[in-house]
A and B are shown apart, each in its own frame.
Chain A
Amino acid sequence: MVDTGATAWVLTSAALVLLMTPGLALFYGGMVRPKSVLNMMMMSFGSLALIGVLWVLYGYSIAFGQDVGGGLLGNPTEYLGLKGLMEDTTSESGGLPAMAFVAFQAVFAIITVALISGAIADRVKFSTWMVFAGIWATIVYFPVAHWVFDFSNDDTGHVGGWIANNLKALDFAGGTAVHINAGVAGLVLAIITGKRRGFGRDPMRPHNLPLVMLGAGLLWFGWFGFNAGSALAANNTAAVVFVNTIVATSAAMLGWLVTERFRDGHATSLGAASGAVAGLVAITPACNALSPVGSIIMGAIAGVLCALAVGLKYKLGYDDSLDVVGVHLVGGLWGTLAIGLFATAAAPAGADGLFYGGGAGLLGTQAVGAFAVLAYSAVLTAIIGFALKATMGWRIPEEDEVAGIDQAQHAESGYDLVGTFGGHGPSAGTAAPTSKRTSEGASA
């Protein structure tokens, strides 16, 4: 029997999560300089284009196929091209059609890859990014999704991943598989690709903060699908998670703004947007394990912690352009570990952390899960990153980077603001279209 309520909620949630990637494109796009806004947004849209296809072809099978050994990898051929899943309404527990779960998990894969792009803004070839995205999804994200999200099912005989079933670390919506995974990949790529020209010398301030704030708002909106949708049912767990996703985010924004106000003298709009995302990242793994008040405390600490962490790149000298490390790696680590401290058995996950009398055992379990993903992602990303550096190369030529990557890589400009000179035919400002098709059309 198909559970229509659960199916409706999970499909709706999948649409919400899909919107997060264009939201991320706006969030990141507003933070770069006007000459690279399109390339920044295209890295997210490139992930939407490529990862959706790979997910259907073999990604779902690697992540959610029958385990082929040690909880490390799903069988890549079991659901190749989603074979056999179009009429499968039974394999997911709770009456959820398999295709609804395929859709929901597809958009997770897409956003995880897109998150990485913020670390390497303004400077890498679009072609190298796309090749990286495909390889990284295949050998890093799909297996790690298997570890974390693929639960064994005794009724069907399905065997899933090791973090979910053997270690039993708590990660409700992807603190490890999504945020630690993408965050550390961003760090490694920022180091391998090198700094932007003029990093630390030239001002590289955000060119459009309203876009950043709109993007943060869309991310928050979509994140309700990400977290509450991960209940995979329209039930009490989804509702508790929903409230925690509101309140941890609000508290993190407060934490970031207060930190800025005392350290720098001003509460900034970029700080508000960043604090919201830091809170969303941190509550992602913990949203079904904490009480709403626990979420406030955990979220506020996330805001302060990430506001302090984004300054590290200047001290350590790596150009993580849009703070993927400071927000996603640090926020993801904090949220995953904080479960070991703030988890309460009263919440749907039903486990007590250190501060609720559960001892340090859960904290240890969380740490193993977090650092296993961190180490795997760091090593594999380094191998892919160096291999691409030696073959395709990462960087665009220096003059293209200075002139603007949008022109060099996409032959487009984000903005045409010289309106005074436009609208009077091809003689002023821009030349007439010169493509073959246009000239043929004109002569016909």
Chain B
Amino acid sequence: MKLVTAVIKPHKLDDVKSALESFGVQGMTVSEASGYGRQRGHTEVYRGAEYTVDMVPKVRLEVLVDDLDATGVVEAVVKAAATGRIGDGKVWVIPVDDVVRVRTGEHGADAL
């Protein structure tokens, strides 16, 4: 099993969610995040004083998938989240040792 984590632009969340639902993904976890990459932050001016705001609002999306689906899920996220402009975000995949469904106690791929 793999954990696919994507940090994307907040306004692309609906597109990514639709793409993953079309792919057949059954669930996901979404959280608000803030940070910066090469995009860096932006400047704001208050009463003439300029502030550099490093942290940009982002959405973090996490999906647990079967090994075979990982590549397809990543492609679906990347395709849906891309705008072609700097700051589109990142997607990464890490291996997962085990998954347990809390309600039934099922382990591994059955719990996905």
- Chain A residues near B (Cβ < 8 Å): 203, 205-206, 260, 263-266, 268, 270-271, 274, 307, 310-311, 314, 323, 326
Contacts and interface: CB of A to CB of B under 8 A. Distances in A.
Main secondary structure of the interface of B (DSSP, over half): strand
A270 B46 contact: yes
- Nearest 3 CB-CB pairs, A to B? A203-B51, A264-B45, A310-B47
B48 A263 contact: yes
B46, B49, B50, B51, most chain A CB atoms within 10 A: B46
Nearest to B52: A203
A419 to B, nearest CB: 13
Given A203-B52, A203-B53, A266 B47 contact: no
Contacts of A274: 47
A260 B48 contact: yes
A74 B53 CA distance: 53
Nearest to A269: B46
Nearest to B50: A264
12 contacts: A203-B52, A203-B53, A260-B48, A266-B45, A268-B45, A270-B47, A271-B47, A274-B47, A307-B47, A311-B47, A311-B49, A326-B47
Contacts of A264: 45, 48, 50
B97 interface: no
A83 B64 CA distance: 79
Contacts of A265: 45
A229 to B, nearest CB: 30
A260 B46 CA distance: 10
Contacts of A260: 45, 48
A266 B43 CA distance: 12
Nearest to B53: A203
B46 A268 contact: yes
A421 B62 CA distance: 20
Contacts, number: 32
Contacts of B52: 203
A274 B47 CA distance: 8
Contacts of B49: 311, 314
Contacts of B46: 205-206, 268, 270
Interface string B39-76: 00000111111111100000000000000000000000
A136 to B, nearest CB: 26
Contacts of A314: 49
B47, B50, B52, most chain A CB atoms within 10 A: B47
Given A260-B45, A260-B48, A265-B45, 10 more contacts: A203-B52, A205-B53, A206-B46, A263-B48, A264-B48, A270-B46, A274-B47, A310-B47, A311-B48, A314-B49
Nearest to B47: A310
B51 A205 contact: yes
Nearest to A209: B46
Contacts of A203: 51-53
Contacts of A307: 47-48
B48 A205 contact: no
A203 B54 CA distance: 10
Nearest to B44: A205
Nearest to A313: B49
A263 B48 CA distance: 8
A83 B53 CA distance: 58
Nearest to A203: B51
A311 B48 CA distance: 7
Nearest to A310: B47
Nearest to A200: B49
Contacts of B53: 203, 205
A203, A265, A266, A307, most chain B CB atoms within 10 A: A203
A315 to B, nearest CB: 11
Contacts of B48: 260, 263-264, 307, 310-311
A155 B52 CA distance: 64
A198 B109 CA distance: 51
A314 B52 CA distance: 16
A186 to B, nearest CB: 15
B35 to A, nearest CB: 16
A270 B51 CA distance: 14
